[in-house]
């Protein structure tokens, strides 16, 4: 199978690319820089230099391949809503190209959008539209594409996709801890973050394009929920900083713009995902991985 990947040099995209190549697939990887080209080619894949927001580039990649995996996303949180709407347009473009031809399109969303404070699963709908939850734009676009006959799959990634080289939420928390001189959690710290090692997430994407099961939404979750207090303590221990609870106004004073994410409580099941794909996560758990590679 020939697979087109957007964000092919990113933390998740590069892991998917390598997993696909090792499984014997050909990969066309979209990247934005010459460094990205080198990275893709070093992984024995074909690099396509361009911008994911360029419709002609998107159409070329989708036409040239048997499957599409879309992981590219601009994580500049100062332009978050605009970036979410840009992602909607990318998925809409893929939908135009892939409508009715049966090629699988795998798009990326987040378990953290299901911030219900209870155990969630693959069949839970998002609690609001993109007007309220900007990141919902991607799933909204996917549902529209499904209605037009596109073979769309949604992968919801957990708040922590971890591994060596991680530059996501865990490293952001580490930066906050360094800046504030301590690691922190909110209240009792019993809110839970699901997690997955990036190699396991990569295998999940590959299994979707290989098996193309009836299930349409997947949770890339290895650990149902890691208590936030455990994450805060691991950061404090790793950086040799004090660990404290924050309440009231002290929460925003410590976490700032990250407060929403630090308070997320979205434990997640991946039972349907595992059954549909025979997916069995094998990578290290979050705290174990942090202790080995993050400090």
Say if 81 falls within a structural domain: yes
Q: Are residue 120 and residue 179 in the same domain, yes or no?
A: no
Are residues 230 and 97 both part of a single domain?
no
Strand-strand pairing, 217-219 and 151-157: parallel
pLDDT at 272 over 90: yes
Exposed/middle/buried for 245, CB within 10 Å: 0-12, 13-18, 19+? Answer: middle
Concatenate the DSSP letters of all residues of 45-79 into one string: -EEEES-TT-HHHHHHHHHHSSEEEE------GGG
Nearest CA among 140, 109, 104 for reference residue 2: 104
170 touches 232 (CB < 8 A): no
Least confident of 42-46, 77-81, 83-87, 140-144: 77-81
Tell me 124's DSSP state. P
Helix (H) or strand (E) holding 146: helix 137-147
- Asked if residue 142 is part of any domain, the answer here is yes
Q: Would you call 179 exposed, middle or buried from its count of C-beta atoms within 10 A (0-12, 13-18, 19+)?
A: exposed
d(CA 219, CA 122) in angstroms, rounded, equals 6
pTM: 0.96
What 3-state class would DSSP assign to 245? strand
User: What is the tally of structural domains in the chain?
Assistant: 2
Size of the chain in residues = 295
Note whether 237 and 201 are same-domain residues. no
Please report whether residue 289 resides in a domain: no
Q: Order the strands of the 26-31 sheet from edge to edge.
A: 46-49, 26-31, 2-6, 67-70, 104-110, 151-157, 217-219
Tens digits of per-residue pLDDT, 4-30? 999 999 999 999 999 999 999 999 999
> Please, what is the average pLDDT of the chain?
97
Sign of the alpha-carbon torsion through 122, 12, 66, 64: positive
Is the confidence at residue 217, as pLDDT, over 90? yes
Q: What is the mean pLDDT of residues 185-207?
A: 99
Residue 63's pLDDT band (cuts 50, 70, 90): very high
**Could you tell me if 84 and 176 lie in one domain?**
no
Kindly state whether residues 64 and 156 are assigned to the same domain: yes
Side-chain half-sphere CA neighbours of 35 within 13 A: 2
pLDDT digits (tens, 9 = 90+) for 123-132: 999 999 999 9
The mean pLDDT of 66-76, rounded to a whole number, is: 94
| Per-residue pLDDT at 75 | 83
Residue (of 293, 116, 275) closest to 197 by Cα position: 293
Instruction: Name the residue range of residue 219's domain.
Output: 2-162+196-223+267-281
Q: Which helix (H) or strand (E) holds 239?
A: helix 228-239
CATH of the domain at 16: 3.40.50.720
Mean pLDDT of 257-266: 97
- pLDDT score for 77: 82
Q: Is residue 286 part of a domain?
A: no
CB of 113 within 8 A of CB of 62? no
Are 39 and 131 found together in one domain? yes
Whether residue 76 has pLDDT greater than 90? no
pLDDT tens for 153-163 read 999 999 999 99
Q: Cα–Cα distance between 130 and 158 in angstroms, integer?
A: 19
Q: Are residue 200 and residue 69 in the same domain, yes or no?
A: yes
């Amino acid at each position: 199978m020939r697979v087109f990947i957007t964000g092919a040099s990113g933390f998740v995209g590069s892991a998917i690319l390598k997993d696909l190549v090792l499984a014997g697939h050909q990969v066309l990887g979209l990247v934005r820089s010459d460094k990205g080209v080198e990275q893709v080619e070093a992984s024995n894949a074909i690099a396509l230099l361009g911008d994911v927001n360029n419709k002609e580039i998107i159409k070329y990649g989708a036409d040239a391949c048997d499957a599409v995996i879309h992981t590219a996303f601009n994580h500049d949180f100062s332009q978050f809503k605009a970036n979410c709407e840009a992602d909607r347009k990318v998925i809409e473009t893929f939908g135009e190209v892939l409508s009715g031809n049966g090629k699988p399109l795998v798009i990326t969303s987040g378990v953290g959008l299901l911030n219900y404070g209870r155990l969630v699963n693959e069949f839970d709908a998002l609690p609001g539209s993109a007007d309220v939850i900007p990141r919902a734009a991607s799933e909204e676009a996917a549902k529209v594409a499904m209605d037009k006959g596109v073979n769309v799959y949604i992968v919801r990634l957990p708040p922590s996709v971890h591994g060596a080289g991680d530059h996501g939420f865990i490293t952001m928390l580490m930066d906050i801890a360094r800046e504030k001189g301590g690691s922190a959690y909110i209240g009792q710290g019993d809110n839970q973050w699901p997690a997955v090692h990036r190699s396991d997430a990569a295998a999940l994407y590959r299994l979707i394009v290989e098996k193309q099961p009836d299930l349409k939404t997947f949770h890339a979750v290895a650990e149902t929920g890691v208590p936030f207090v455990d994450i805060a303590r691991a950061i404090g221990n790793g950086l040799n900083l004090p660990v404290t609870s924050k309440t009231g106004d002290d929460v925003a004073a410590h976490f700032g713009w990250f407060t929403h994410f630090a308070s997320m409580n979205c434990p997640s099941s991946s039972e349907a995902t595992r059954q549909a794909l025979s997916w069995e996560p094998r990578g290290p758990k979050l705290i174990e991985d942090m202790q080995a590679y993050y400090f």
